[in-house]
Amino acid sequence: MASVIPRAIRRLVKSQRDNLRAALRSRPQSKADYDARFQMSLREWLIHHQQDVIFDKCSWMGVRAIKNPLDAWVYQEIIFEVKPDVIVEIGSYEGGGTLFLAHLLELMGKGTVISIDIDRSRYAVQHDRIIAITGDSASDEVLEQVARLCEGKSVLALHDGDHSRTQVLRDLEAYSKFVSVNSYLIVEDGIVDLFDPRDGLGLPHDGPLAAVEEFLKKNPHFVVDPDRERYILTYSPRGFLRRIE
């Protein structure tokens, strides 16, 4: 009998989640509909956003942008404060996030986005402030190009490439040297390390957050800026790294 109770509880929890997801998909028409939405936990919101929103319903100026909108708001705050000459973006996919960064720089009247991606088959943007480099972010050829473009300039870097711990750590070590003092190295999607793969948001292996923790042990000139997570719903836990020296 004891083994039946946990299964019954799991069925109840699944039923409640299914009902919640159905309510989220429907258009709210009454206060009760909104009340049902407000009952969800932060964890449930993140899973909902990952499964039902981010891949199909997030875009910037008509181009798909696979970003948490609260993180994107923080990006514009950081970019305005730092006013970088160069933003190095590792991983662009279709380019919505890249275009977002370029438009922010355009509003300020300065700066260039260096977009690095190994695959341009889905990339669909062009802008005078974007320089696209195609290749492995960790290759000597790509790093040499980035070094030339960043020489003598203030730099902010954003990592949204391969999410395996090994590759992220490799990129952090390689690109951190370009980041200016008082600027940021932003590591996206560490959220996957805080979820189980069965949630639809986790990965079966260590990811960006694990890489960040290892990177910080060896690089004391970078510190986590917790204020950048003040909206709580972030895809980048401990991922806003400020260079202090």
Where a domain ends, among 25, 40, 59? 59
Instruction: For residues 82 and 36, state if they share a domain.
Output: no
Instruction: For residues 8 and 81, state if they share a domain.
Output: no
The whole-model pTM stands at 0.88
Q: Say what the pLDDT of residue 18 is.
A: 64
Residue 174 falls within a domain, yes or no? Answer: yes
CA dihedral 46, 51, 56, 58 (to 10 degrees): 0
- Strand partners for 159: 90, 187
Residue 171 falls within a domain, yes or no? Answer: yes
Q: Say what the pLDDT of residue 112 is.
A: 98
Residue 54 falls within a domain, yes or no? Answer: yes
Q: Which domain holds residue 151?
A: 69-243
Q: Say what the pLDDT of residue 10 is.
A: 47
Instruction: For residues 145 and 200, state if they share a domain.
Output: yes
Per-residue pLDDT tens digits of the chain, which is 245 residues long: 333 445 543 454 455 566 666 666 667 778 887 887 888 889 988 998 888 899 989 999 999 999 999 999 999 999 999 999 999 999 999 999 999 999 999 999 999 999 999 999 999 999 999 999 999 999 999 999 999 999 999 999 999 999 999 999 999 999 999 999 999 999 999 999 999 998 888 999 999 999 999 999 999 999 999 999 999 999 999 999 999 99
Instruction: For residues 142 and 105, state if they share a domain.
Output: yes
Instruction: For residues 101 and 18, state if they share a domain.
Output: no
Name the domain count of the chain: 2
Instruction: For residues 137 and 205, state if they share a domain.
Output: yes
Instruction: For residues 77 and 23, state if they share a domain.
Output: no
**212 CB-side CA count, 13 A:** 27
Instruction: For residues 112 and 167, state if they share a domain.
Output: yes
Residue 158 falls within a domain, yes or no? Answer: yes
In whole angstroms, what is the distance from residue 134 CA to residue 115 CA?
8
Residue 64 falls within a domain, yes or no? Answer: no
Instruction: For residues 126 and 163, state if they share a domain.
Output: yes
Residue 18 falls within a domain, yes or no? Answer: yes
Instruction: For residues 21 and 135, state if they share a domain.
Output: no
- Considering only the C-alpha atoms of the chain, give the largest distance between any 2 of them, rounded to a whole number of Å: 70
Instruction: For residues 33 and 139, state if they share a domain.
Output: no
Instruction: For residues 78 and 34, state if they share a domain.
Output: no
Q: Say what the pLDDT of residue 199 is.
A: 83
Give the CATH number for residue 134.
3.40.50.150
Q: Which residues contact 201 (CB under 8 A, 6 or more apart)?
A: 46, 47, 50, 51, 191, 192, 195
